[in-house]
Structure 1
Amino acid sequence: MQINDSSYKFRYVFIPVFYIIFFILGFISNLYVLFVLCCLRQAKAMGEIHIYMTNLTIADLLFVCALPFWIDYYMREGDWVYGDFMCRVTGTFFFINTYSTILFLAAISINRCWAVTRPLDAASSDRRICGIIVCICIWVFVLTMSVPFLVSPGINKHSKNNTDIRRCFEGYQNESKEKKKTVAVTNFLIIGLFFIVFLLIVMCNILISKTPNVTSTFKRPTGVKRRALQMLLAVVGVFVLCFLPHHIVQGPWALAVLEIVNYSETTRKLLSDTHQITLVLMGLNCILDPVVYYFATGKFRGLIKAHIKKIITCTQTQKISLIQHFEPNPISDKILSIL
């Protein structure tokens, strides 16, 4: 199965535009988040959730650093010029960002759910060690899953107008039947993992919403439950917008690309175009994750508000100084008139 090359045309127009936006906003926002988290660390205010946020920010920066290669790839109309090794590395970064983000967001959701539903246990225990262990497990798991992308050839060549075009992670037409079956099974296992995590996050929302504000032994501070629900709704929003479309389309798309199911030409083209759109939506997570952080903890919100207040204060001070500088001074004007 080889999809007509005209079906790829639209992606070379809109994907570079979106990836450029993601690169600029993602680089700035995630560096700022890393700065805020470093401030919290220096103030010895790093809790379990901040450890998850730090690791998630690092994962987002890995993806952002790979974006210039993908921007150039699509601007060249799908011709990879950086060699097979860089194809595998940048493709691996994309995979690592996607699934480490999904798992770290799940860890953040479980942490907030624990804090709301079991406040006394959460307040009386030092969860930082637990956070470090969970992060190590997530990185080991995701890196292990990404090994096949790093060790297998990433470039597929095909001719176009008597010229060799090098596609990066596009197409499995030349693979053996056994390899295609392995790839298909791997894809569906990953899709299953996503829906398990998504269901877990939805369950966290339900548990928090059903938790009373007052129990027989503890009265929850005002707004804690509301803020936790806001954060979890933001996480669900990121999942629905960024990840859910891809994991719905990924299965049928994989079956089409692997030639396991013989779809019609129209269906193959629709799956190919839709799959590219879902990849762009997944890239959006690198600029939406900082929004989740804002709802995650009061300390993080407090530092951001303090920075914004400081910027506004400095701006107003500079404005007052400029006004005073240019205000007419009667004594100076009189001296100048004499001179």
Structure 2
Amino acid sequence: MTTPTANFMTVGNNSPAKTFLDSNFRYTLFPIFYGLVFPLGLIANCYALYVLHHMRECKAMNEIRIYMTNLTVADLLFVAALPFWIDYYKNKGDWKSPEPLCAITGSLFFINTYCSILFLAVISINRYWAVTRPLVAASSDCWKRGAIISALIWVITLAASITYLTNTGIQKDNNISRCFEGYQNEEESKINTVAATHFIIIALFFLVFLMVIVCNILIARALLKQPISQPRGSTGKRPGGTKRRALRMLCTVIGVFVICFLPHHVVQGPWVLSVLHMRKEWKNTTHQRLNDAHQITLMLMGLNCLLDPLVYCFATTMFRKYIQNHFTKELP
């Protein structure tokens, strides 16, 4: 979530003087990082959307294609907001764009993060269902189920992001307009509510992450029980190759969680306690380190729009084969 940084210093007789504590390295690192993610993410996800559109006639993968398409749209929304964040960090954390855009870009960051988490989770469940209950999965109304689940995910994330959209998100700090920063100015009466909201989100993330881990362990167990050396089936596919691709897919999904989302949600709890000044015994160096770590985890979350297309390649053979055939035709 785009609520990067605030901290507290003590002066005089240990009375807290709440001031904004910055991590200055982000003003150099973030514009470079987002400057690379923006074109790469735009190209990768537009191409993924193009491939998914041309695979719409394949009924066998209707459900997972719906999830992939929605995940790609969520990634493109995040990518669309990156130029504003690049400008924000180039201006040393001073929001120069129209104030309503702060609320919109903050919402897009939140929506992308939790849509990605939930769609990756349902992709894992879908693959578990396909591996362990292939006949039941094939006989059910996949398209309708995919559409309903996708709609629910969007409703949940959009409802959760309303708090971002209902205010500008701008906090003034010595004539500097901070976008979704400045928790040090939170009213005392709201501190517990703000902290509880963050910890509920953290708990829900770990619940989803546990579900993804369990699904992928069960997929791996089911696949490993199948013998690798089998003759080609009637479709010409070698079961061993299918198993290896499936194992790569589940490793990729878990990798996206571990690299992009897990660090943020591990750091988020202590960081919230720090910025809300709920741990007065912590030293200023502890606050600074937590803030620096929080900035790094925000950056890592931006990688997910580049890693998600890898999930598509390993999740379905048809997606990968379409790309291979497309480039084979294009090359002389």
TM-score, scaled to structure 1: 0.86
Task: State the SS of the aligned residue for 1:261.
Answer: coil
Aligned-residue CA RMSD in angstroms? 1.8
Q: Contact conserved, 1:116 with 1:228, CA < 8 A, in 2?
A: no
Q: CA deviation at 1:44?
A: 5.8
For 1:329, the equivalent position in structure 2 comes to none
1:334 is aligned to: none
Q: Distance in 2 between matches of 1:206 and 1:43?
A: 28
CA distance in 1, matches of 2:134, 2:56: 23
- Which residue in 2 is equivalent to 1:92? 107
Distance 1:36 1:231, change over 3 A: same
* Per-residue CA distance 1:89-138 (angstroms, 9 max, x = gap): 10000000000000000000000011111122122223111000100110
Q: Partner of 1:302: helix, strand, or coil?
A: helix
Counterpart secondary structure, 1:156 = strand
Q: 1:195 aligns with which of 163, 188, 206?
A: 206
Corresponding letter in the other structure for 1:30:
N
Note if 1:83 corresponds to 2:80. no
1:274-293 matches, cutoff 5 A: 274-293=293-312
Instruction: Assess if the C-alpha contact under 8 Å between 1:172 and 1:180 holds in 2.
Output: no
Deviation, 1:222, is 4.0
User: Which amino acid in structure 2 is aligned with residue 105 of structure 1?
Assistant: L
List aligned pairs for 1:226-265, cutoff 5 A. 226-262=244-280, 263-265=282-284
The residue type equivalent to 2:328 in the other structure is K
Among candidates 86, 95, 110, match of residue 71 of structure 1: 86
Q: Does 2:326 align with 1:307?
A: yes
**What amino acid sits opposite 2:226 in the alignment?**
N
Give the Cα separation in 1 of the matches to 2:257 and 2:277.
29
Correspondence list, 1:19-30, <5 A: 19-30=34-45
Aligned AA for 1:32?
Y
Residues 1:224 and 2:242 are matched in the alignment: yes
> What CA distance in whole angstroms lies between the structure 1 residues aligned with 2:35 and 2:247?
32
- For 2:167, the equivalent position in structure 1 comes to 152
Structure 1 window deviating more from structure 2 (57-66 vs 113-122): it is 113-122
Tell me, in whole angstroms, the C-alpha distance in 2 between the residues paired with 1:297 and 1:32. 16
Match of 1:213 in 2: 226
1:204 CA displacement: 1.2
Rg larger in 1 or in 2? 1
Deviation, structure 1 residue 7: 4.0
The 8 Å contact of residues 115 and 122 in structure 1, kept in 2 or not, is answered as yes
Q: 2:145 aligns with which of 130, 144, 149?
A: 130
Which structure has more helix as a fraction of its residues? 1
Identity of aligned pairs, percent? 57
Deviation at 1:176, TM superposition (A): 1.6
Query: Which has the larger displacement, 53-62 or 300-309?
Result: 300-309
Give the number of the structure with larger relative contact order, counting CA–CA contacts within 8 Å between residues 6 or more apart. 2
Q: Aligned pairs, how many?
A: 305
Worse-superposed segment, 277-286 or 254-263 = 254-263
Find the aligned partners of 2:283 and 2:99 in 1 and give their Cα distance.
31
Question: Is the CA contact 2:67–2:123 (under 8 Å) kept in the aligned structure 1?
Answer: yes
Under a length normalisation based on structure 2, what TM-score does the superposition of the two structures give? 0.87
Output the amino acid matched with 2:292: D
For residues 33 and 171 of structure 2, the distance between their equivalents in structure 1, rounded to whole angstroms, comes to 25
Equivalent position of 1:108 in the other structure: 123
After superposition, the Cα gap between the structure-2 partners of 1:267 and 1:189, relative to the gap in structure 1 and judged at 3 Å, is same
Name the CA distance, whole Å, in 2 between partners of 1:177 and 1:84.
25
Greater displacement, 42-51 / 112-121: 42-51
- Aligned equivalents of 1:184 and 1:268: distance in 2? 16
Any unmatched runs of 5+ in structure 1? 314-339
| Equivalent position of 2:286 in the other structure | 267
